Amino acid sequence: MTEDLIMEEYDICVIGAGSGGISAALEASSLGAKVVVVEKEEIGGVCLNRGCIPAKAYLKSASVYDELKRSNDLGIVHKDITYNLSNIQHRTKEVINRLKGQIESSLKSRKVDLIKGRASFLDGQHIEVNERRLKASSFIIASGSSPRPLGSIEVDNKRTFYSDGIFDIDRMPKDITIIGAGPIGCEFASFFSAFGVEVTLVEMLERILPRGDREISNRLEGILKKRGIKILTSSRCDINAISSDAILISTGRTANINGFGLEKIGVAIKNGVICADEHLRTNLRGIFAVGDCIGKYNLAHVASAEGKVAARNALGKKVAMDYTIIPDCVYSFPEVSSVGLTEEEATKRGYDVRIGRMHFAGLGRAQAHGETDGFIKLVVDKKSDAILGAQILGYYATELIGAISIAIRGKLKIEDLADVVQAHPTFSEGIQLAAQNLFRQTI
């Protein structure tokens, strides 16, 4: 670094233009701050470019193809249908580019500067990027995460992939082995299976979606097996012995904490993630961190919420991040969603719980759609009738969970859910019916 570099000064410098970084930048700008975002790769981060959004675009194509294969049951008679992988990929890129353009427009309209390049901390108030020196009163680190390597396995993006690279696969494989049956593994198992690929899903723990509700994961496993997916739990595999056309490694992600000088300035790191408190403060004054790099939840919507909290705190407010009501969604076929405590978690915390259920087979809309696999599960404190959590398996599960999140946030009781008038026929009336089924047990 030379001494004649131009010094540019900002109120807030955000490192990383993913979900957390963009949210932080826009929030800080709306509060009157002069903001710059530094991004070494693509605006939108993993979620937009190699994660959430392309996965949902792929899954939409798969769901349409899957429904067409089953459309004879709906009275739609057709001859052979087919698909074009390159067209699916082209459409996905169009979706990404449209959303990327929207983000760029938002930053521009809020007068947020965007610099492409790798940031490197010089000290607690300065970074260098592309031979430019930036000074900021506060920094918000939103550096994201990368796929967790599986031993010394080489990922070539031809036969062996991480989720980041699978979107560029050049042909639909005859068969695929997916290592890791968390959300990413289950979603890609659903995608490939819908297109007739033979799928083997391998999980080293005792069940798929091991962090979720046991009843839900067991039921989903049964449904996936009916769809022809081979599932191996409590299993480890020798990748060299796998003969599948393709291998997808989906064994989690690791925080991006190297290569931009955190160790130089002394940012505290523990177990591979940046240490941040409920205000998203690190151990250094004026330096905050959000998103996957702090390892709380690897979810884009959590990163976005953290970004807002960090921006407010960086500008002198005192706001704490609330992690008690975080919806978690899996876009498998069928979908899975959850918010709050599971039955097992609530019991471990000492609650005496009651469970309200409504099976999709009892819903008129589900019968009309031919989507009867699944159920809604409400976890309620017997003593107070407070809603502690909910889990949903089935069609539209990822949309339905939002209503229950609002109910928990609003401290509604189970009676309130039972008394809400829902439109008929809808999937959302299943929430009301689950509450009624439970409430009737208490009167």
pLDDT digits (tens, 9 = 90+) for 207-244: 999 999 999 999 999 999 999 999 999 998 888 788 99
pLDDT tens digits, one per residue of 394-437: 999 999 999 999 999 999 999 999 999 999 999 999 999 999 99
Q: In Å, how far from its chain's centre is CA 82? A: 30
Q: Which residue intervals of the chain bear CATH 3.30.390.30?
A: 334-442
- 443 — pLDDT class (breaks 50, 70, 90): very low
Strand locations in 167-260, DSSP E?
175-179, 198-202, 230-232, 246-249, 253-255
Mean residue pLDDT across the chain: 95
Q: Which residue intervals of the chain bear CATH 3.50.50.60?
A: 7-147+255-314, 160-251
Q: What is the DSSP letter of 314?
A: H
Rounded CA-CA distance 418/412 in Å is: 10
Strand locations in 18-142, DSSP E?
35-39, 113-116, 120-123, 126-129, 132-141
**Rounded to the nearest 5°, which phi and psi values hold at 381?**
-75, 120
Q: What is the DSSP letter of 423?
A: -
126 is catalytic: no
Strand locations in 45-196, DSSP E?
113-116, 120-123, 126-129, 132-141, 145-147, 160-162, 175-179
**Is residue 425 within 8 Å of residue 404, measured between CB atoms?**
no
CATH number for the segment(s) 7-147+255-314: 3.50.50.60
CATH T-level assignment (fold) for domain 160-251: FAD/NAD(P)-binding domain (3.50.50)
pTM: 0.93
Rounded CA-CA distance 320/31 in Å is: 17
Q: CA-CA-CA-CA torsion for 411, 414, 415, 416, nearest 10 degrees? A: 40
Q: What is the pLDDT of residue 238?
A: 80
- Look up residue 142 and give its two tokens: 């939103």
The partner residues of 10 in beta bridges, in order of sequence, read 136
Q: What is the pLDDT of residue 1?
A: 42
Q: What is the DSSP letter of 257?
A: -
Of the candidates 372, 353, 279, the one whose C-alpha atom is nearest the C-alpha of residue 317 is: 279
Query: Is the pLDDT reported for residue 441 higher than 70?
Result: no
Query: Is the pLDDT reported for residue 85 higher than 70?
Result: yes
Q: What is the pLDDT of residue 240?
A: 79
CATH T-level assignment (fold) for domain 334-442: Enolase-like; domain 1 (3.30.390)
